[in-house]
Structure 1
């Protein structure tokens, strides 16, 4: 669904409706309305709600040491609003505990107009981004929304329980009060972070904006405030405010929130580097450090980079070298931290390198863009948050971002001045890319966070929630005596994340779905310490869609435990598996195994375990897909006749029909050198006539790379409106045959009105030959 249409359809936060609504009316007088919504949804300035819209009570759930947000929207429908004030009360529990209002931030959303660098999925318009502090009454022009961001921090010492209060909106003397309910879980997020961070502060932009000298005391104080500001968002920057081998470094490197930092390295000063490393090693800080001095090297520089990395290893074998490339065989043995762009993530290679003790981080920079997650302004709010979810599920150990404060504008040769409050483009093609904070009014003021930065912090807190869940399940396995090879607690993290995000280009953008999964994780952390101990593993991942007719599983319990399973299929009657009594003797865990038939639709499974008078219930859900309403298979190009070649629009590529044992009939494609973007295109009407490709399910491309080196190809789909997505690199490994499958619904263009696709390469220095097998579709991903 178009995001703007979705905004109009769901103007309020998805929350329960409570019987304890306050007596003050919940809707405003004619001429304006007050509504509420999730903080994880962006509402554009002119996406006005219906005149009869009402604010829904706010329902929050949080761990201790966590931030939770929502927004209050004041919409001026029929007149200008001259004076609007928003305030919030303390949140109190029945037991008398309080979350004081001083821990609740109010920020007034600043809207910025986007006209360039926009796409069909997120068109131009006025987007909320900067979140300066709310400092008093404000006005709202007729025809505009004005969001007030409300950010609740739950202190570590807060008792678990339910807290209530309200937000008041005073519009020209008429007051609307909205109930707020906060459930504080018996869960405390750790102070320390469990992922690396290299989000860069560009000091020259800090200095230039405020007219400071980079060696002045005022600048050093400004940099330090910015450093701690980002650290509070669980994003410790790459460079410390002080030399890493100075006594002052202890204040940073002994802080548990600082999990990573950059170690300066100059290949012309090996002795100085070794002395610096020896100091860090002696202090016990070296494991947090890394060297990052080369950025995005091309393949023609790999040999040089390999030598560079081995030189660092020879000087200090325990220092990690970070390089911003995907794992590449020519660099194996020289790189300690691989940091690929999102577009080049290869999970198989990642797992292989991690098994050898190497780390994998990732980054985004201008691209790839939608349908990938981004930190762009013209994207869903959940986009900046979901990256941390995928990090947790895929064991990505850190994140890098090139700058949080590019307050200038790149003109093709240098950075020139830019008004950050009106111009969203620091760099061409990426609205908001390169900056996540806005300057405070003076050098003494803290930076102003962006909506995107707030979402990144929420995602980082979610990452810690998943870390806690995995630790809690691991402790349960240890109490049961269950060896690691029989139960992997990380699978449960993958299952819960999988309810929201299955891959980088397929994830649920509705914040309500993300919130439901997040609350499930919090609940299971609490339950993991409840008795009796029990763990569940199933052949089909919980929450995932499957075509299987049955699911099998195991319930591990202590001896003497009763296990009872009850299934509730969406279609048909509920049924109960007879109670199974685990033998009462012995100390080893007992596995209760089961097989559950699955009908089409959703089947809910409740697993009740009982021991020594204590009972707990573990729930799982399985979704069996209905028969797919797509064409089982379709061949777009068989590569058997010259007519197959004629289907393609060809630019600087030689196409020859041939045959291979691994591909069958295929095309030998030779991409020509010294030209920009040689390509072949399969476009309607010459390539095909059916423009509604939703019926095809998945597009399947099979290649063979006969070369000794990798080949980088790009897949680019188009729709008939002119929208294109350039976010699909195809990395062909040397002397291998590889298959790539693309979900039609996730291509990022209108596949109900599809124009076709292109296979292109960047400008080459010499011809490159690859083979392309028959171009086909498949109902399911191969």
Structure 2
């Protein structure tokens, strides 16, 4: 079933609750407010008869919009629970309705009388504007994970975060469910009220969609293709008119759901391809197969695809020692096609031939999301991400789009010039189409290691498997064949694959049995590819002087690693990370720990993501060398002051920040990731980029088939893909991803900036070509049209390419190399 249909079906029932229902309703809001109170004077919580899901009244929580500045968390809570003994209940049902024009995250904390509120069980759900959900909270699992006593429940605390519009938030009730109890069916009157409200809000948008549908021009399509598209248009309009797709329409910020964007794209792609079909068709019998293309920064959803018309030539441009890609899309219309693949011919030009190893064409695989994450999403279903390097061909379903990742990996010594070849699309072992492809090699080379320093973990971990894997099997993950174990048989292959993305086998947190892989680190150093690596993790010190304030075991653990790094001559690449995201109350203990470690290891930087917005300049964490705020907390002025004091200021992402800030979730656009490590880093100049984990694997089996995989997209409760940028292939062999590709492409864009800066400095020193100097200085100022701020940036890949090409032109034209 369509996931949006599931959401509506689960919510909008018309039948009354069965008399045999054994649930426990916690509050009767028709009688009292149940002791609910807001936690701030600006916000109000009260009973309301507008949208009651149970009885005649529910709760209404309302408050003003957040207008920027310090974050706010509007909240309301009750400590007057009529039932405190929850041991026999396994779920809590909470119908909620967001009667606001902005997306809202709805958080709930539940705790006992002894555990601090924010250490209690936490639940979070994202609600689109004017949308409702029947939340069903899994209590037993959440209580066990946080150590909450179910026999002593004392508080329910609800809150949202930085509301973009004035809030009107309705809560229909709180119903405890025993194992086997059905989820309460919500009354038809509740459904009808919400549908009427949504219809009024959506009426202008529906008229726009109907007008757009009437204006579609099908004249360039074949009669069969035109009929297929018309059927899609009519089906979508019927859903919109019926109210079935209201939640979907309300969830998309630009008012255009993926299904409709896909229709637009297909009309354009079909029209464009028909003009080229005769020039690329290699055999008859494939008249129902559509070809198209996309940049690496675009994610092509297989069942609601958006892609570009096929150009006369797919063009790729890269420097020497750089990797760059394009996507070729194959979409059978009307019937499934078996064994579809892409084979690349030789690529030649006036400067010679590209080696075969420099070119590859890999099927893109898909992972299935099953919910709208806290980070937000306009689509739930199969998303493209893993690159299935172990497959040459895949079966492609009728009316489904299959991307192939065509990548050029330019050797460091490759002569500059344009190399031309073909991408041959094979179907069932026969060549069906032959598409021209060109690779332009620029006349300069990128360095072997990223020019933006990195501190990124790759050490496979399954710590969240019980929470994220619905088929969690403790015995299965103990098997040597489980991904978290099997990958170790292929450490050299993983080392090589990760090095291609500027990464290493490393860990910020000393996950599991991690220790520095000194043999592999030494190899990378000999190859000029070694980046920063960790010697270990440190916690805040204790207040007891015994055992060197509790730091002696940390010192003893790090000491032999320190000595070995020194012997190998790689100590200058090392750091010691700790006091992860520590708050101000932990600063005295964190500073004590850092001062002790600084005395023991004076030549190794101490690194932290502690929440010190002074970045070490106010003395509270003076012994720490490197600070790393989340991207929204990165302050250029304060970073400059910290650098004057000898500090470094990096930045990082993780579960936060959410849109509109750039991140790298499954649902994030590829351009977000590329800009983050490319143009955004060039504009704001963090000293480096940190990420906590790229191998958070919640599967007990590797990826062995495709294109549709059985990989569990949920890597962290409420998020898809966070901490999981890599995939284990057959037997634990390494697989990259679209997200890793864009991460690396951004690093390479950043390298263009740094190389041009180096050439500009050399030209200034030599007094050469003032006109070129002025042009270089202008190009190095990242344009606002590309990145206006950390929340305002282009979604157009062509703007990235135009910026990148201008940098490349100037690097090649530099008067001093």
TM-score (norm 2): 0.57
Answer yes or no: is 1:268 the counterpart of 2:268: no
Q: State how 1:10-25 maps to structure 2 within 5 Å.
A: 23-25=279-281
Structure 2 contact 293–309 (Cα < 8 Å) conserved: no
Structure 1 contact 385–455 (Cα < 8 Å) conserved: yes
Partner residue, 2:408: 152
- Residue 25 of structure 1 and its aligned partner are, at CA, apart by 4.0
> CA offsets per residue over residues 289-339 of structure 1, 9 Å max, x none?
110132111221111111111112222222111101354335342221111
Answer yes or no: is 1:472 the counterpart of 2:759: yes
Partner residue, 1:222: 490
User: Of the candidates 296, 301, 326, which is equivalent to residue 44 of structure 1?
Assistant: 301
Q: State how 1:119-198 maps to structure 2 within 5 Å.
A: 122-133=378-389, 135-171=391-427, 173=430, 175-198=432-455
> CA offsets per residue over residues 116-155 of structure 1, 9 Å max, x none?
1347663323211111126333221112111111111111
CA separation of 1:171 and 1:424: change in aligned 2, threshold 3 A:
same
Counterparts of 2:263 and 2:459 in 1: how far apart (Å)?
39
Q: Tell me, what secondary structure is at the counterpart of 2:607?
A: strand
Q: State how 1:319-334 maps to structure 2 within 5 Å.
A: 319-326=604-611, 327-328=613-614, 329=618, 331-334=620-623
Counterparts of 1:330 and 1:417 in 2: how far apart (Å)?
49
Answer yes or no: is 1:437 the counterpart of 2:726: yes
Q: Tell me, what secondary structure is at the counterpart of 2:357?
A: helix
> CA offsets per residue over residues 530-570 of structure 1, 9 Å max, x none?
79xxxxxxxxxxxxxxxxxxxxxxxxxxxxxxxxxxxxxxx
CA separation of 1:338 and 1:255: change in aligned 2, threshold 3 A:
farther
Counterparts of 1:123 and 1:248 in 2: how far apart (Å)?
41
User: Of the candidates 796, 808, 814, which is equivalent to residue 510 of structure 1?
Assistant: 796
Structure 1 contact 499–517 (Cα < 8 Å) conserved: no
- Residue 234 of structure 1 and its aligned partner are, at CA, apart by 0.7
- Residue 111 of structure 1 and its aligned partner are, at CA, apart by 1.8
Deviates most, 205-214 or 218-227: 205-214
User: Of the candidates 291, 311, 316, which is equivalent to residue 60 of structure 1?
Assistant: 316
User: Of the candidates 454, 459, 481, which is equivalent to residue 202 of structure 1?
Assistant: 459
- Residue 452 of structure 1 and its aligned partner are, at CA, apart by 0.5
CA separation of 1:350 and 1:142: change in aligned 2, threshold 3 A:
same
Answer yes or no: is 1:98 the counterpart of 2:353: yes
Structure 1 contact 197–238 (Cα < 8 Å) conserved: no
- Gaps spanning 5+ residues in structure 1: where? 410-415, 532-782
Structure 2 contact 461–696 (Cα < 8 Å) conserved: no
Counterparts of 1:439 and 1:170 in 2: how far apart (Å)?
27
Structure 1 contact 167–179 (Cα < 8 Å) conserved: yes
Deviates most, 118-127 or 104-113: 118-127
Structure 2 contact 726–736 (Cα < 8 Å) conserved: yes
| Structure of greater relative contact order (alpha carbons < 8 Å, 6+ residues apart) | 2
Partner residue, 1:495: 781
RMSD, aligned CA: 3.8
CA separation of 1:8 and 1:134: change in aligned 2, threshold 3 A:
farther
Structure 2 contact 457–505 (Cα < 8 Å) conserved: yes
Partner residue, 1:456: 743
Partner residue, 1:307: 592
Structure 1 contact 28–34 (Cα < 8 Å) conserved: no
Structure 1 contact 3–121 (Cα < 8 Å) conserved: no
Structure 1 contact 408–418 (Cα < 8 Å) conserved: no
- Gaps spanning 5+ residues in structure 2: where? 1-253, 464-474, 539-550, 704-708
Partner residue, 1:88: 344
Structure 2 contact 590–621 (Cα < 8 Å) conserved: no
Counterparts of 2:305 and 2:461 in 1: how far apart (Å)?
40
CA separation of 1:165 and 1:71: change in aligned 2, threshold 3 A:
same
Counterparts of 2:738 and 2:574 in 1: how far apart (Å)?
30
Structure 1 contact 376–432 (Cα < 8 Å) conserved: yes
Partner residue, 1:289: 574
Counterparts of 2:585 and 2:333 in 1: how far apart (Å)?
59
Q: Tell me, what secondary structure is at the counterpart of 1:163?
A: strand
CA separation of 1:134 and 1:499: change in aligned 2, threshold 3 A:
farther
Q: Tell me, what secondary structure is at the counterpart of 1:407?
A: coil
Q: Tell me, what secondary structure is at the counterpart of 2:740?
A: helix
Q: State how 1:646-725 maps to structure 2 within 5 Å.
A: none
CA separation of 1:436 and 1:111: change in aligned 2, threshold 3 A:
same
CA separation of 1:508 and 1:310: change in aligned 2, threshold 3 A:
same
- Residue 33 of structure 1 and its aligned partner are, at CA, apart by 0.4
Q: Tell me, what secondary structure is at the counterpart of 1:351?
A: helix
Q: Tell me, what secondary structure is at the counterpart of 2:761?
A: helix
> CA offsets per residue over residues 157-182 of structure 1, 9 Å max, x none?
11111111111113354621111122
- Residue 454 of structure 1 and its aligned partner are, at CA, apart by 1.1
Point out the structure with the larger strand share. Answer: 1
User: Of the candidates 365, 381, 396, which is equivalent to residue 110 of structure 1?
Assistant: 365
CA separation of 1:218 and 1:374: change in aligned 2, threshold 3 A:
closer
Counterparts of 2:636 and 2:448 in 1: how far apart (Å)?
30
Q: Tell me, what secondary structure is at the counterpart of 1:179?
A: strand
> CA offsets per residue over residues 745-778 of structure 1, 9 Å max, x none?
xxxxxxxxxxxxxxxxxxxxxxxxxxxxxxxxxx
TM-score (norm 1): 0.59
